Amino acid sequence: KAGVTQTPRYLIKTRGQQVTLSCSPISGHRSVSWYQQTPGQGLQFLFEYFSETQRNKGNFPGRFSGRQFSNSRSEMNVSTLELGDSALYLCASSLEGQPYEQYFGPGTRLTVT
Amino acid sequence: SQQGEEDPQALSIQEGENATMNCSYKTSINNLQWYRQNSGRGLVHLILIRSNEREKHSGRLRVTLDTSKKSSSLLITASRAADTASYFCATDARGYSTLTFGKGTMLLVSP
């Protein structure tokens, strides 16, 4: 089975712009979670989607949003980018019956200048 | 917020030696998992141990869990240079699917 894929792998944006990141889960996985990883804060949960519905949300401002499509693919969007949004954004997918056993993609490295 | 704290923050050993890293957490958990991350890339799932288990093995990996002390340890036996990576523990609480990660242990295995 193919693993979780994320596109793009690297992205450079300017403050104030917006960005959309994409994630394709492992085939058969219907739950997708997003995490932000920074040197200072470590790995932090952003949100989780299941069957096109946001099931959980982390403590991030409303500039961070996401969605899930009927084929379980997910996108996250960050509007009005700030320098502090520079991070590795990781997507993970899991099976319906084992939402805690998450399998991660390679991540998207976002740099905001 | 960070639930777990890994110890040590960094560990440097020679190939063939064993590596032990520890994880402590604060609240009751449903499962505890260990992940590996190479050079800021994606996380690789290593092993999951449930709250009612005390020890689990997978290849060269041995994980223990002490729920009374809210701690876990990961032992990598006969380390190889390819084991060089950061190792994270992640916990989830009953009824919740979100993972809470520790800050990780950086392991360097020298040839």
Question: What is the DSSP secondary structure assignment for residue A85, as one 8-state letter?
Answer: G
**C-alpha distances out from residue B106 to A9, A57, B8, B62, B99, Å:** 23, 29, 8, 18, 20
Q: Which two tokens stand for residue B94?
A: 């009953």
**Closest to B1 in 3D by CA, of B73, B86, B108, B99:** B99
Q: Which two tokens stand for residue B16?
A: 């063939």
Model confidence band, residue A2 (pLDDT cutoffs 50, 70, 90): confident
Greatest CA span in chain A, whole angstroms?
41
The whole-number average pLDDT for the span A65-70 is 97
> pLDDT for B54-92, tens place per residue?
999 999 999 999 999 999 999 999 999 999 999 999 998
Model confidence band, residue B3 (pLDDT cutoffs 50, 70, 90): low
CB within 8 Å: B45 and A33: no
CB within 8 Å: B103 and A42: yes
- Say which amino acid occupies A36: Q
- Say which amino acid occupies A59: N
Out of B30, B33, B98, name the one closest to residue A48 (CB): B98
> Residue B74 and residue B19: Cα distance in Å, rounded?
8
User: Chain A closest CA to B99's CA: distance in Å?
Assistant: 7
> pLDDT for A48-60, tens place per residue?
999 999 999 999 9
Answer whether residue A5 shows pLDDT above 80: yes
